[in-house]
Amino acid sequence: MKLVLSDEENAAYLEFFELADTSSKGYVLPNDAVSFFIKSGLSKETLGQIWALSDSEKKGVLNKDGFFKALKLIAVAQTGKSVSLDYLNTSMFTRLSYRN
């Protein structure tokens, strides 16, 4: 499923990717992803589902595209919707909520 992002989402997700890519290698390691995604307030179970959908190639890391998919799915889950790739091509979920 194609990922559709607004300009606002793309800019925010790129900023988040740069924060989460602590090794500056162009991908986010699992521990870095967990540390970043847990701030969303979602359960570990939901975050596990999001990881599985976002790491579709089963590489154990998230490249920029996979990380952006994860952020989109986190935004979807934060609205109370079930985690599904069907929401990747919508622009109705643009706001992520993260706790410090």
User: What 3-state class would DSSP assign to 27?
Assistant: strand
Read off the pLDDT band of 7 (50, 70, 90). confident
Query: Does any domain span residue 97?
Result: no
**What is the structure's pLDDT at 87?**
82
Query: Does any domain span residue 72?
Result: yes
Task: With a cut of 60, say whether residue 92 has pLDDT above it.
Answer: no
Q: Which residues form the domain of 41?
A: 7-89
**What is the structure's pLDDT at 16?**
93
pLDDT tens-digit readout, 52-85? 999 988 999 999 999 999 999 998 899 888 898 8
Higher pLDDT, 42 or 96: 42
What is the pTM assigned to this prediction?
0.86
User: Residue type for 5, please?
Assistant: L
Query: Does any domain span residue 1?
Result: no
Query: Does any domain span residue 2?
Result: no
Structural domains counted in the chain: 1
User: Residue type for 83, please?
Assistant: V
Measured CA to CA, the distance from residue 5 to residue 35 in angstroms comes to: 24
Residue 62 Cα to chain centre, angstroms? 9
